[in-house]
Every structure is written in structure tokens, then in C-alpha cells.
Chain A
Amino acid sequence: MSKKLIYLDNNSTTPCDPRVIDAMVPYFYDLHGNAASRSHPFGWRSEEAVDYAREQIANLIQVDPKEIIFTSGATESDNLALKGVFEMYSRKGNHIITLSTEHKAVLDSCKKIEKMGGEVTYLSVDGKGRVDLAELENAITDKTIMISIMWANNETGVIQDMKAIGEICAKHGVLFMSDATQAVGKIPVFPKEVGVHLMAFTAHKMYGPKGVGALFVNRKNPRVKVTSQLDGGGHERGMRSGTLNVPGIVGFGKAAEIAGKEMQEEAIRLAKLRDRLESALCEQLEETYINGDDKNRMPHVTNISFKHVEGEGLMMTFNQEIGVSSGSACTSASLEPSYVLIALGLGDDLAHSSIRFSLGRFTTEEEIDYTINEIVRGVNHMRNLSPIWEMYKEGVDLDSIEWAEH
């Protein structure tokens, strides 16, 4: 296996399943109608296709099809849920509780809400990446309208105790919103079972196309409403205007159907491969740490820090062939290392040293074995170059050195 590219960045986006693409193709050709055209067969056929996809998606998460609002993706769904609830429930209160480890789509929506007069509490997490339930309950005030907590974290794969959080929300009569982008289609996600009232997710993290997502909005007990953020033709029960992306929605539906059928087997297979990767790296490389809760986490993700090796530099040793991502600052323009890993209590140095591996449906055992060898080679190369690794090996206490921060 020489120049074949290996993709282990499935949390960033998944490739489209060929079965999904096959399902979508007719909707670029003859079945091109606008689903909102009520006066001719072109429109009717597209509307039927959308209805069918809505059912496929509703079946996957066990909700009523009427509770699915199509959007352009999880970012839009997060925005709609947070800002839409904030506006709709402004008479009830203005306080929202969320986590510091949420995706930027949630955090930046909350920042905007603060500018609009809202109050937001950003709770931290414990060393394993989970929220402290007592702390969460204590943060609720008589002004709290919603708690927004992601189902599974994108960087670490850590899964929150959704049932317990749902119970706290129910007890206090607070809406429960969840960004479930990384969880839907990979593990069983049933919002109604755990008391989630709004849930954002997207097709392109579950082998569907990019550019289409959904927001689940609970219709009964309680009947939840959101103020639309995009105004126009009143599509999606008035909550999200805009011509529906019919091919995308058809693909999303197919992806949901496949996920429902294959998820269980896939999760077992990927967990095995992930564990194989993790244990080989930890055995062959000293000073290697798994970040986040290794019990409550997604089956296909591992986030590992290789001490005294900088993440981007490490990636450069193998990124002509292997695609992963790093919590290192250098991969972004900000120069700040991953805020998610910092929230777990990792020092900046370990956050800079982290690599996220996210496996997927098309990951093979052969690829994992190849990756293990490449990572081991890369870490050794980087440690050979690293002055702080040399100092560490000589027994120098790195904390005793006065570093020139820059």
C-alpha cells in the first residue's frame, strides 16, 4: 500500500455512501421539481420524495416526521434552535445554560444571544469531558428557558449523560436542546426517550451529502416553537423558509435508513479497530495519553496526546498519506490550542500534542495497521527533533524552566 490515501477524519465529514449517491442522482435529472410546487407532477413527485426522506430520518431517531425541520446543516440548526427559542420564549425568560466544550455553532450563537440581551452560563466539564450534574442543576434560575448540551463531542467523542440531563430539565420545566451532529447515525439517538426537545444534526456526518441538515422540534408535551431565522415562503411549517434541497434531502433520508440498519454492526467493528489503534500506540510509544472519558464515548473516535511532540509537526510526517486532525493551534489561524481539550484540564502543551483519529464506514484493518506504523515512526522522528523531549529524558523538570512566552 504505497500512495493510497487513508482517511481518519470522519468527524470532520464522512464520504458519501455510494448507495446515497445512487438515490440522489434521479433528483438532479427528471425529478427536478420544486417540492413546494403544488400544481403539477414535477412538484408532487419531489414532495413525495421529501416526505419519504422525512420518514426515514424520523424513523432513525424515533420521532414523528412532522417534527423534522430541514435546514442547510447542523450549524443552521443550532442557530435556529438557540436564537429561535430565545426569541420565542423571551417572555418566559432570557437565560440559557450550555457547556464550554460545545461546537462553535452553539457557542457563537450564544454570544450573539448575549448581545441581544440574553444571559448565558457556560459550564465547564470534568477531566473526562462530562458535565457535573449538580452544577448544572444549580445553574438553573427562574429565568432559564433552555439547556443546550451536545450529545457527543466532536473532538473527543465523549458522550454526555443525556438521560440524567433530560430529567433535570423536566424537573425544572426547562427546554432541552442538543447538538447531536456527531452522534446521530453512529449510535442509538432517541431524543424523546431522554427528554430532548430540540436536536440538531446533519447528513454529511453520516455518509450523506453536505449542505443538508435537520432540526428536530418536539410537537407534543411540550409543544415547542422556534421563531424562524430565515423568512420567505413559509416552508417547513413556517420555521425555515427556502426551497427544499430535494436531492440532498433524499440522500439524507437514504443515509438515515442505511445507518438504522447497519449502525450496530458498524459500531462494533469500528470500536475494535479504534481499540487496536489506541492500544498499539500506547504500547509502542511512551508518554501517550488518551483524552476524555474512555468509557462514555463514541465507538469510532480517539483523541491522543503524544507528549513533547507538536501536533501539526507530527501530522506533517504522515499527512501526505493519512488525514487526521490536531488540537494544535498551528492548524488554525488563531494560534490558540483546542478549547475543548483545555476545558478537560489538559495543559496547553498536551493540547498542542493531540491528534484526533475518527474512523468511519470505509476504514479497513489494513489501513489501521499502516497508520499505527506511520504514527510510531512520526512520533519518534519528532521526539528526536524535540528539545523538550531531550530535557524530559535527561530528567529536567520542564516546569522549573522560565520559558519566554511569545
Chain B
Amino acid sequence: MAYSKKVLDHFQNPKNVGTLDKSAKNVGTGLVGAPECGDVMRLQIQVNDDTGVIEDAKFKTFGCGSAIASSSLATEWLKGKSIDEALAIDNMDIVEELALPPVKIHCSVLAEDAIKDAIKDYKEKNQ
């Protein structure tokens, strides 16, 4: 199975790898997947208190190249978006952008879940 050029680019030079302070009030953390399944994604967003815009996003992922590329792409897309815009990101957008084969669609689903999980965490902190 050959990887698409975009998957390779994200894999070799992943964007926004890192860790935000998960205890900060304006940071939402999503942790999805399981080591037993071979995929764990942690995706974090930092939301600007005044504008409500996601001003930073970071990830770390244990998984195959497609999982890493999906989460790297997700963090790129998240930056500059409002919460509502972020919620609209669909896994199939990721599939299309990265040209993921059918066997790798679950990687994009995981990325969408991670986004939603991070937003949920942020909202719970800021009710």
C-alpha cells in the first residue's frame, strides 16, 4: 500500500506536535482510541477568551501514518476557527484531503472524535 503524498508530508513533518496545559481553563483536551487498538489520539485546543476563536491546537498520536496525518491536518484546520466551525469538521473532509484508502477511514473518524472530545472538554470547563 502506497501512501499519498499529503499523508507522507504530514507524517514526516507533522504540524503542531505538542502539549498544552490541560489544567488551563481555556484549553480543551480530547483523548480517544486505545493502545490495544493501535491508535490513541490526544488533541488539544486553546480558545481565545475574548473572541471565542481557537488560537492554538496541538496533538500527539500513537498510531499509523494515516492516524498521525489525520490528527496533524485536524490541528491545522482548527486554528482560527470558532467552536461552531470546528464542530462542523467532518471525517470525510479529512479522507478527501489526505486521499485515505477505505481501510484507513477509521483514522479520520478518530480525528473527528478527538476534535469533538476536545470541544466537549472545553465546554464543560466553561459552562
Identify which of B11, B35, B62 contacts A316 (C-beta below 8 A): B11
- Please name all residues of chain B whose beta carbon is closer than 8 Å to the beta carbon of A310 when the two chains form the complex: 38-39, 62-64, 67
Q: Is B60's CB within 8 Å of the partner chain A?
A: yes
State which of A335, A390, A403 has its C-beta within 8 Å of the C-beta of B19. A390
* B80 contacts partner chain A, Cβ-Cβ < 8 Å: no
Segment among B26-34, B48-56, B87-95, B119-127 that sits at the interface with chain A? B26-34
**Cβ B110 vs Cβ A389 within 8 A:** no
Distance in Å: Cβ of A295 to nearest Cβ of chain B:
29
> Does B61 reach chain A (CB closer than 8 Å)?
yes
Contacts of B32 in A (CB 8 A): 404, 406
A328 near B60 with CB under 8 A, answer no
A329 to B113, CA, bound (A): 21
A313 adjacent to B35 (CB under 8 Å): no
Contact of A349 among B8, B17, B35, B67 (CB under 8 A): B35
When distances are taken between beta carbons in the complex, the residues of chain B under 8 Å from A18 are none
What per-residue 1/0 map shows which CB atoms of A364-406 lie under 8 Å from chain B?
Answer: 0000000000000000001011111110000000100101111
B68 touches A313 (CB 8 A): yes
Q: Contact partner of A386 among B11, B62, B65, B109, CB < 8 A?
A: B62
Tell me, yes or no, whether A271 is within 8 Å of chain B by CB: no
B3 within 8 A of A: yes
Closest to B31 in A: A387
- Cβ of A209: which chain B residues have Cβ within 8 Å of it? none
Residues of B close to A382: CB separation below 8 A: 62
Asked if residues B38 and A337 are in contact (CB atoms below 8 Å), the reply is yes
Distance between Cα atoms of A144 and B31 in the complex (Å): 51
> In this assembly, does A308 line the interface, its C-beta being within 8 Å of a C-beta of chain B?
yes
A406 B33 Cβ-Cβ under 8 A:
yes
Interface status of A333 (Cβ within 8 A of chain B):
yes
Contact A405 B34 (CB under 8 A): yes
Q: CB < 8 Å: which of A330, A333, A348, A403 contacts B40?
A: A403
Number of contacting residues on B, CB 8 A? Answer: 31
CB distance from B37 to the nearest CB of A (A): 6
> In the docked arrangement, what's the CA distance between A177 and B87, Å?
59
Q: Which residues of the other chain, B, contact A333 by a CB distance below 8 angstroms?
A: 103
Q: Is A352 an interface residue (CB 8 A)?
A: yes
Interface of B is mostly: mixed
CB pair B36–A403 under 8 Å, yes or no, is yes
Does residue A309 face the partner (Cβ distance < 8 Å to B)? yes
The reply on B79 being an interface residue by CB < 8 A is no
> CB distance A405 to B36 under 8 Å?
yes
Report Cα–Cα, A330/B62, bound state, in Å. 12
Complex-state Cα separation, A386 to B32, whole angstroms: 13
Contact B31 A406 (CB under 8 A): no
Contact B60 A403 (CB under 8 A): no
Question: How many positions in chain A have a CB within 8 Å of any CB in the partner chain?
Answer: 30
- Complexed CA–CA distance, A386 and B33 (Å): 13
Partner of B34, one of A384, A390, A406: A406
A398 touches B35 (CB 8 A): yes
B73 at the interface (CB under 8 A from A): no
Among candidates A309, A329, A384, A389, residue contacting B17 with C-beta atoms closer than 8 Å:
A384
Q: Is the CB of B38 within 8 A of A403?
A: no
Contacts A308-B62, A312-B65, A387-B41 hold; do A348 and B106 have CB atoms under 8 A apart?
A: no
For residue A398, which residue of chain B has the nearest CB? B35
Q: Which A residue sits closest to B32, measured CB to CB?
A: A404
Chain A residues with CB under 8 A of B113 = 404, 406
* Contact assessment for A352 and B65 in the assembled complex, using a CB-CB cutoff below 8 Å: no
CA distance in complex: A310, B68 (Å) = 11
8 smallest beta-carbon distances between A and B, as pairs: A403-B34, A348-B36, A349-B35, A387-B42, A387-B60, A352-B38, A312-B64, A330-B64
Residues of A within 8 A of B (CB): 308-310, 312-313, 316, 328-330, 333, 335, 337, 347-349, 352, 382, 384-390, 398, 401, 403-406
A-B contact pairs, 28 of them (CB 8 A): A310-B39, A310-B63, A310-B64, A312-B38, A312-B65, A313-B62, A313-B64, A313-B67, A316-B11, A328-B64, A329-B37, A330-B38, A333-B103, A349-B35, A349-B36, A352-B35, A352-B36, A385-B62, A385-B68, A386-B40, A389-B62, A390-B19, A403-B33, A403-B36, A403-B40, A404-B32, A406-B32, A406-B113
Given A313-B63, A313-B64, A333-B103, list of 8 further CB < 8 A pairs?
Answer: A330-B63, A330-B64, A337-B38, A352-B35, A386-B61, A387-B40, A387-B60, A403-B34
